Amino acid sequence: MTGETQVTKQRLAYGFTLIELLVVMAIIGTLLSIAAPRYFKHVERAKETTLRASLATMRDAIDKYHADTDRFPETLDELISRHYLKAVPLDPVTNRSDTWVTEPPADAQTGVFEVRSGAEGVSVDGTSFSEF
């Protein structure tokens, strides 16, 4: 064998064949098809958990405001101005802070007694976001 032929054979031994690359790509595709749905389900569950926590925080602030002043706040912004909240949290489903739906107390026309998400749709367990 000549020196040039031996160098060419050594170069070929270092590379991958097309079949090897296709096998690796098939394995990666199979792993992604298993992992991707689980990833997106976890993202949805994280949004739902964040939504529940934000609602609990705002409801707690409303309760504390009512206990301190013996009346309900007129708006969510009043909770901020009186330092019961630092800011109105983002609704993690809509990614906006102005989609919260407020309900007045049963005996009054104004005020914030209850707060719910204004997001449309249902959670992973089938519960409407507005029922949280």
In this prediction, residue 60 carries a pLDDT of 96
Q: Name the stretches of the chain with pLDDT < 50.
A: none
What's residue 8's pLDDT?
58
Q: Is residue 75 part of a domain?
A: yes
Q: Quote the pLDDT of residue 5.
A: 60
pLDDT for the residue numbered 24: 93
Question: What's the confidence (pLDDT) of residue 92?
Answer: 92
Instruction: Note whether residue 126 is domain-resident.
Output: yes
Residue 2 lies in a domain: no
The domain tally of the chain equals 1
Residue 8 lies inside a defined structural domain of this protein? no
**Predicted pLDDT at 131:** 87
Residue 9 belongs to a domain: no
Q: How far is CA 127 from CA 2, 68, 95, 117, 130, in A?
A: 75, 33, 19, 12, 8
Long-range contacts of 76-79 (CB under 8 A, 24+ apart): 76/100, 76/102, 76/112, 76/115, 78/112, 79/112
Q: Tokens 């901020």 — which residue?
A: 80
Residue type, 32: L
What pLDDT sits at residue 51? 94
**pLDDT attached to residue 6:** 60
Cβ contacts of 37-46, under 8 Å, gap ≥ 24: 41/124, 44/123, 44/124, 45/124, 46/92
Range of the domain at 54: 18-131
